[in-house]
Amino acid sequence: MENKPIKRSEYIIALSRDHHAGLLFGWKVKEGIRKNIPLPQILKYINFFWEQHLKGHFREEEALLFDRLDDNLSRQGKAEHLMLEQRIRQLNDDGHEAAADYSSFAELLIKHIRFEERTLFPHLEVSLPESVLKQVGEFLNGQHSVPFVDNYPDEFWTKNYPLK
């Protein structure tokens, strides 16, 4: 199966750009695990990205798009947001010191982003009225005049640590 580029509505393209940052975030977490970076160091980055980007992105998608339709796909999008937020809380709880938990979180996020891009967003683009999408686009363009920049100071994903 060939992966063709997805043609995204101009009105929600800003959210797709955010998804690129999310996919890169997931890769960085997995790369940190692969390089044996201490898990607390990776967790600091997860918490940074959550607070600086992901939490707001989720709220934006829900308020601007998902809450406008009461259907299975929109409910799935919101449920996956909640599940990812719960996973972050679990990673911050004592006793979650397994690299598999971090890897699972990153994979879940990547899978969620692909669901939104390949299934949910195309559904919303045809299900929501053009006037609603236009309003969403105007809001997003005002909020996202500058793309998110991941300026986390510790680029652990570029480092090598000794094997455990």
> Does residue 156 lie in a domain region?
no
Give residue 144's pLDDT band: very low, low, confident or very high (50, 70, 90). Answer: confident
Q: What is the pTM of this model?
A: 0.90
> Does residue 6 lie in a domain region?
no
> Does residue 108 lie in a domain region?
yes
Q: What is the 3-state secondary structure (H, E, C) of the chain?
A: CCCCCCCCCCCCHHHHHHHHHHHHHHHHHHHHHHCCCCHHHHHHHHHHHHHHHHHHHHHHHHHHCHHHCCCHHHHHHHHHHHHHHHHHHHHHCCCCCCHHHHHHHHHHHHHHHHHHHHHHHHHHHHHCCHHHHHHHHHHHHHHCCCCCCCCCCCCHHHCCCCCC
pLDDT digits (tens, 9 = 90+) for 19-78: 999 999 999 999 999 999 999 999 999 999 999 999 999 999 999 999 999 999 999 999
Give residue 1's pLDDT band: very low, low, confident or very high (50, 70, 90). Answer: very low
Residue-number span of the structural domain to which 139 is assigned: 13-145
Give residue 85's pLDDT band: very low, low, confident or very high (50, 70, 90). Answer: very high
| Number of domains composing the chain | 1
Q: What is the DSSP letter of 52?
A: I
> Does residue 86 lie in a domain region?
yes
> Does residue 151 lie in a domain region?
no
> Does residue 30 lie in a domain region?
yes
> Does residue 31 lie in a domain region?
yes
